[in-house]
A and B are shown apart, each in its own frame.
Chain A
Amino acid sequence: MIIFDNSVLSTFTRLNLLSQLKELISSAIISKDVLEEYSEHWQKKIPDWIKIMEPSKDITLETPPVSLSSADLSLIRLGLQHKIPIASDDKPLRIFASSLGIPITGSLGLLKVLFQNNIIKTQDEYIMFLDSLQKDLYISVDLMKWALEELVDKEIIKKFMDKYGKEWKKLGED
């Protein structure tokens, strides 16, 4: 089981990858506060296997960072309560959750796991999703190299690099 924050939930909804994610992780949680931050139109896109839960009132947080919202804090409380990881691409949430001992994952790690487990079937699809992920998340050359190496043919990497020009050429030269 896993907790999604708005960033990862939005990204995987936009990428149309929530159903593929279900094949891997079977169930996930968001809080009511998180759900209510979306428009009604978007709320309808959230599938049934993502459960809406409220954290226990017994879990309190002392001096949380101002960079987090009350919805973010509800996820931290759920993480502490159920002792399960949070998926987030938001640095302040990742740092605060880690400081409390909550394991963290994110879109890039999840995307690689989807490909490595053959849920994203082809290299072209994987490249397309990595490309699109950059709309939501800055991915450095080193991180992109990590995402591609050992999984994607050099020829396909080269095509990808060519598209992104000079910065990407460094990737192939290493």
Chain B
Amino acid sequence: MVEKITIKLPADLLELTGLSSKNLEEKSLLIWVLEIYSEGKITLSKAANLLNMKIDDFLAEFHKRHLRHIGGPESIEEVQKEFDVAQKIIRDK
């Protein structure tokens, strides 16, 4: 069982957006998870798991917001290394 915390949000936003408390909880979690995934703090699989979503459904939510995902190589050295690994796989095939 995942431990839950309580946060305070302006109640009038519920009326404005037409969301119920339950929907707001789900939407807040979705936005939070999308953000930490885009920052590269959790994996795609972990993000989908946290939301009880299928990977493809999570990616649809991610793509429709045009977010950027930081997750791959960060330097020329790192990308060259991943390129060399890919080349080696071909040579060893």
Residue in A69, A107, A110 with the greatest tally of chain B CB atoms within 10 Å: A69
Count: A-B pairs, CB below 8 Å: 142
B41 touches A (CB below 8 Å): yes
Which residues of the partner chain A approach B71 to less than 8 Å between Cβ atoms? 7, 89-91, 94, 137-138
A1 to B89, Cβ gap below 8 A?
yes
A138 to B76, Cβ gap below 8 A?
no
A143 to B46, Cβ gap below 8 A?
no
B4 touches A (CB below 8 Å): no
Summarize B's interface: helix, strand, loop or mixed.
Answer: helix
Asked if A71 meets B45 with Cβ closer than 8 Å, knowing A41-B56, A85-B89, A113-B90, the reply is yes
Per-residue A-contact encoding for B80-93, CB less than 8 Å = 1, 0 else: 11110111111001
A10 touches B (CB below 8 Å): yes
Asked if A113 meets B73 with Cβ closer than 8 Å, knowing A26-B93, A37-B55, A108-B82, the reply is no
* Interface size, chain B (Cβ < 8 Å): 36
A5 to B86, Cβ gap below 8 A?
no
A50 to chain B, nearest CB (A): 14
Stretch at the interface among A53-61, A98-106, A153-161, A163-171: A98-106
Per-residue A-contact encoding for B57-93, CB less than 8 Å = 1, 0 else: 1010001000011111111100111110111111001
A34 touches B (CB below 8 Å): yes
- Cα–Cα, bound, A14→B60 (Å): 11
A2 to B89, Cβ gap below 8 A?
yes
Interface residues of B (CB under 8 A from A): 40-46, 48-49, 54-57, 59, 63, 68-76, 79-83, 85-90, 93
